[in-house]
Amino acid sequence: MIEIADVSKAYGRTPVLRHCSAAVARGEVVVVCGPSGSGKSTLIKCVNGLVPFDSGSIRVNGVSVGDKGTDLPAVRARIGMVFQNFELYPHMTALQNVSLAQIHVLKRRRAEADARSEQLLRRVGLADKLASRPDQLSGGQQQRVSIARALAMDPQAMLFDEPTSALDPEMVNEVLEVMQALALDGMTMMVVTHEMGFAQRVADRVLFMDDGAILEDTPKAAFFAEPATERARQFLAKVLSH
Amino acid sequence: MRQSSRAWLATPAASYVTVMRSLPLVLVLFWFYFLVPLALGHPVGALASALVAFVLFEAAFYCEIIRAGIASVRVGQTQAALATGMRQAQVFRLIVGPQALRAMVPLLMNQIIIVFQDTSLVYVVALRDFMTAASVVADRDGRPTEMYTVIAVVYLAICFSASKAVEIYQKGHAR
């Protein structure tokens, strides 16, 4: 589904990704973790071409993302993305947020799009917030709207870039529950997160990144039982201690 | 154009805005009144030269307001819209444009009020606007106090109601 092969990237002279290779198979949930500044967010934004990379290749469903001739909007339309800061459109209601790309990208008729949006917003527990604007919603509610917005495109895979990092602690779970339900439904997911509990419950594999490189690509059980690298051991000790 | 990633577009646009915004309007008015006829070889008239000067001068200010408005929309908004498969033009029309416009309407309105007041400067190229006409009458009738008071009241009434309108607009859209 997603194949990342030998991807490197530098900002000026500072390398942010060093020869990263990884793959996410259909239906798989892969959690990407590591200390901040390790290149996790950059890597996940490379997958749908929001951030360009310097060398290597990324294929999504066989389509090469980095090629000049690639129709990036068409690729992105089939991959949902959820951002750390929600990025709902502030001038629109929750329902309009979810319907917008359905209408303008998938060319669904408004009635059809709104029906789908309503169904999805109900699924994330926000049936009563259709007409609310983003600033009338809590962080957790906003993030659930943004998950619905991504799902509305009937994506083949979902990318999550630290979806709970900007949330107050009491709202983290409502978002993780939605993500967990999605994973159980068989959605292909690549999730950058510090939520090790979520990784332990839901992930198939864990990628551990440090300083722009993927140090570990391990099945979940092995990663938590005994990480192969010292850096990962230190990281786990830190995030699991509280 | 200053927003463009292409240097050949962005650099001249930025220089233009910077130069125009650093010059006093009176200077620009003089400039066009005296220089444009020299360049063209025949006189163009006070009104035409003042008009051109105003348009070019104000364009620089409007450019800057529009640029700031667009820059005020977070990059994440563009990324989120792109991530749903929208094309650049759609992102601008549906997401960035409306938010930028909302941010810049009060500034644009303010600039219009300033232009309105600045028009009184055209006396320097011997054009008769409202203000100049009034001062002529004041001289003729020997009643400067009354005439200038009337002018002040008229400017005040127009500008005050305009800025009230801006305020009401802002309240209506304060979300």
Mean pLDDT by 10 residues, chain B (175 residues): 67 85 84 79 77 86 90 93 94 94 87 83 71 78 82 85 81 64
Q: Whole-angstrom Cα distance, residue B95 to residue B100?
A: 9
The pLDDT tens digits of the residues spanning A20-75 come to 999 999 999 999 999 888 999 999 999 999 999 999 999 999 899 988 889 999 99
With contacts defined as CB-CB under 8 Å, which chain B residues touch A73? Answer: 82, 85-87
| Helices B130-141/B144-173 angle, 10° precision | 160
Measured between alpha carbons, how far is B92 from A226 in angstroms, rounded to an integer?
Answer: 49
Where do we find the tokens 């107050």?
A: A168
How confident is residue A163, by pLDDT bands cut at 50, 70 and 90?
Answer: very high
Min CA distance, A154 vs chain B (Å)? 11
CB contacts, 8 Å: B76 with chain A: 83, 85, 87
Which chain B residues touch A89 with a CB distance below 8 Å?
77, 80-81, 95, 99
Question: Which of A141 and B138 is assigned the larger pLDDT?
Answer: A141
SS3 content of chain B, % helix, strand, coil (to 5): 85, 0, 15
**Between vectors from CA B139 to CA B138 and to CA B142, what angle results, nearest 5°?**
75
Chain A residues contacting B, CB < 8 Å? 45, 48, 50, 73-74, 76-81, 83, 85, 87-91, 100-101, 104-105, 133, 135, 146, 149-150, 153
pLDDT value of position B175: 47
Q: Is B40 exposed, middle or buried (0-12, 13-18, 19+ CB in 10 A)?
A: exposed
Enumerate the residues of chain B whose CB falls inside 8 A of the CB of residue A63: none
Q: What domains does chain B contain, in order, with CATH numbers? A: 7-172 (1.10.3720.10)
- Using CB atoms, pick whichever of B81, B84, B175 lies closest to residue A135: B175
| Minimal-distance CA residue of chain B relative to A134 | B175
What is the DSSP code (8-state) at residue B115? H
SS3 A89: coil
- pLDDT score of B2: 59
What lies within 8 Å, CB to CB, of A4 at 6+ separation is: A20, A21, A22, A23, A43, A46, A47, A56, A58
The pair phi, psi for residue A147, each rounded to 5°, is -65, -45
Average model confidence (pLDDT) for chain A? 93
* Residue A172: both structure tokens together: 């983290």
Q: What is the pTM of this model?
A: 0.83
Q: How many angstroms away from the CA of A100 is the closest CA of chain B?
A: 9
Tens digits of per-residue pLDDT, A67-102? Answer: 888 999 999 999 999 999 999 999 999 999 999 999
Using CA atoms, how far apart are residues A211 and B94, in angstroms rounded to an integer?
A: 37
Chain B residue with the nearest C-alpha to that of A149: B84
